[in-house]
Chain A
Amino acid sequence: MGAVVGTLTLQTRQRRPSSDKVDDDLELSVVCHRPEGLEKLEAQTNFSKKELQVLYRGFKNECPSGVVNEEMFKQIYSQFFPHGDASTYAHYLFNAFDSSHNGSIKFEDFVRALSILLRGTTTEKLQWTFNLYDINRDGYINKEEMTDIVKAIYDMMGRFTYPALKTDTTKQHVDAFFQKMDKNRDGVVTLDEFILSCQEDENIMRSLQLFENVI
């Protein structure tokens, strides 16, 4: 009987810390972020008012609290790529979107990045892409960073591809990239090298125009 009583009290004691955590979560979710005014955003981005409205409605519907954290972001992005694992690339994307680097994307970050990607100049787009590739934000893309990025992209393809993925596919791809981009062969790619090399490539220039009417 004493053992029974003992186990009962043990249970109640264990429960308390978890209840604290629940309270913390509640507090977090109650905190809501409201974006800056519509006019301000319209001035800062290349979207019209209507477009911003549409974007915000969708954003707010999905994230009523006004912010997207990385978990949610990964989940959302993974839904578009069911074949493979999109979480690594989503992580890099998240970092690229999260311009204030505080672990959450607010609507302004979201819309500013979209504005660059969809309505920006080619230079801005390439700059954004460079930031995406530059994982540690030191201004240079080295081979490791590039390998990580490429590997993340290939992860999204999943296992079943045609032709089948070989072990050195990633390495070959990275090497090809560096061959093209690294002008002075110093093993890293700087922003200027990157922009210059991309502007020389017809294909890339043309493709950059493709995504303009996504919204």
Chain B
Amino acid sequence: MAASAAAAIGSPLKCGLISSQGFSGSTRSFLWRKNEKRNVRKGCRGVVTAKIDLRPPPYSLDALEPHMSRETFEYHWGKHHRAYVDNLNKQIVGTELDTKTLEDIILLTYNKGDLLPPFNNAAQVWNHDFFWESMKPGGGGKPSGELLELINRDFGSFEGFVNEFKAAAATQFGSGWAWLVYKANRLNVGNAVNPLPSDEDKKLVVVKSPNAVNPLVWDYSPLLTIDVWEHAYYLDFQNRRPDYISTFMEKLVSWDAVNSRLEAAKARAAEREEEEERKKTEYEDNQADLDAREMYLESSDAADDSEAD
């Protein structure tokens, strides 16, 4: 990990066209170059940088025993997660990425699949934050309320969802993650409208991803994740990944967390719909103006012709 990052540092890299998620739709050619001085607010306190932190899980390291051991947390959070944070900070210090949020760094360095070196670290930092918060002491059980209704709607039943999630986690080959996400189908084209603006578009879906990739890069809203890199379960379960997955579902999942994420995801989707409506109306108004002008020009030509005659 260190070696390839070191090789990339010092050579300028260009990000191609970046999709408009989160940005104002402008396209930028993005130069990522270490040691390049950037404009910063220089107060008497000196240069301001946005360092990424290692956030602790919202419970003590032994709180999920015996289902996930304290020893696992000491390595998984204390070594792996910490290394992703430290290595990311080393990679972005002094570059344009240094002032960005973690999510922005992820989307920029995903680079439409042509990953830039900081991607693995950035995404893994985010993934692990999200993973710790997806679990809680005394977790497991079943969701309720609207979340359960949506699960029943989109998976047939809670058991149907559990089976699909477990299968995705078990069949993610090599390292990676399995996810429950909220998908609000959008066309990523400037002035087009979602051709299927029905409520059925806003669906819960199970997806899996390799290595550090997460559903943010597909413009989905993650609700729940399980880490299926071997380091996540090897000390407690060795090769028995299916046992780890079952334990996660039965004893660890924080449905509270999933619920609040769902609320946030729905709110985001509603905001975007409004934004698209607004853009659509704007576009249609512009079109109407253009049409009006054309008509005016046509009629004045006709007047000239008749005069020539």
The yes or no verdict on A and B being binding partners is no
